[in-house]
Amino acid sequence: LGALLVVDTVASLAAVPLDVDRERVDVCFSGSQKAISAPPGMSPITVSPAAEEAFRKRKTKVQSWYFDLTTAMNYWGKDRLYHHTPPVSLIFALREAMRLVVEEGLETRWERHRVNQLALIAGLEAMGLKLLVEKPSDRLPTVTAVMIPSGVDDEKLRNQLLDEFNIEIAGGFGPIKGKIWRVGLMGYSSQKPNVLLFLAALEKCLIDQGFRVSSGAGVGGAVQGYTHAETAAAVSR
């Protein structure tokens, strides 16, 4: 075919199983500040030999110096030909973040993201909330899209979460603006305490807006979710 497979792993790298070579990904790009939990400002990228060959065979000039991989390749290559001044301090920070990824272990990390997501979902559903993505296998372990219940003010709720609990969740954009919340659990922030505190805080904010939740339902659902996951893990050992 000669087509190249380009995969966006901005919200998944270091959180979701991925084997770039085995899955024959030609270009895989991500962000430093998501599940890797390094400071923002960089995009890790891989380029397969096939993609590199395609770049080298280009006949037209790349339209933007800013993101010109053909000249950046000369920087990475033997010549070390100057393309731009790299963000040195961020590179050291990324290296340290990657060291922490290796220390935890990729598989442990994937499992951590999966378990926290399942507990979050168990809690949300126990509160009577619906998810945007219905099929569990289609859900991203790092971002959970929750339908905003009718009668609840999107921005008001997100501001209250931020002001009262220092928790920031994202709204939707484009056609689902105002219809969903996006709850991120990535890298460092994918933690049991964050899941439980978020559910408790969300309950408070929803009740303040008149949405009826049975007391403690979200936290209760998540705790059950964790217990299930731990039992399952113990059985599989």
Per CB under 8 A, residues contacting a second copy are 31, 33, 39-41, 63-64, 66-67, 82, 85-90, 93, 173
Find the shortest distance in angstroms from Cβ 119 to a second copy: 27
In the complex, what is the shortest distance from the CB of residue 90 to a second copy, in angstroms, rounded to a whole number? 6
Task: Tell me the CA distances in angstroms from 147 to 118, 152, 209, one per residue in order.
Answer: 17, 11, 16
Cα 9 from Cα 16, distance rounded (Å):
9
Buried b (16+ CB within 10 A) or exposed e, 101-126: beeeeeeebbebbbbbbbbbbbbbbb
Closer CB to a second copy, 62 or 132, in the complex: 62
CB of 228 to a second copy, least distance (A): 34
Euclidean distance between CA atoms 131 and 204, whole angstroms = 19
Nearer to a second copy, 84 or 204 (CB): 84
Q: Among residues 39 and 136, whose Cβ is nearest to a second copy?
A: 39
43 vs 209 by CB, closer to a second copy: 43
In the complex, the smallest distance separating the C-beta of residue 38 from a second copy, rounded to whole angstroms, is 10
Contact criterion met (CB below 8 Å) for 173 and 134: no
Of 71 and 224, CB closest to a second copy: 71
- Alpha-carbon distances of 135 from 15, 130, 131, rounded to whole Å: 19, 12, 9
Rg (CA), the chain: 21
Angle at 198 between CA 156 and CA 146, to 5 degrees: 65
Tell me the closest approach of the beta carbon of residue 124 to a second copy, in angstroms: 24
Q: Which pair of structure tokens corresponds to residue 139?
A: 């859900």
CB of 63: closest distance to a second copy in angstroms? 5
CB 165 within 8 A of CB 178: no
Nearest to a second copy of 86, 105 (CB atom)? 86
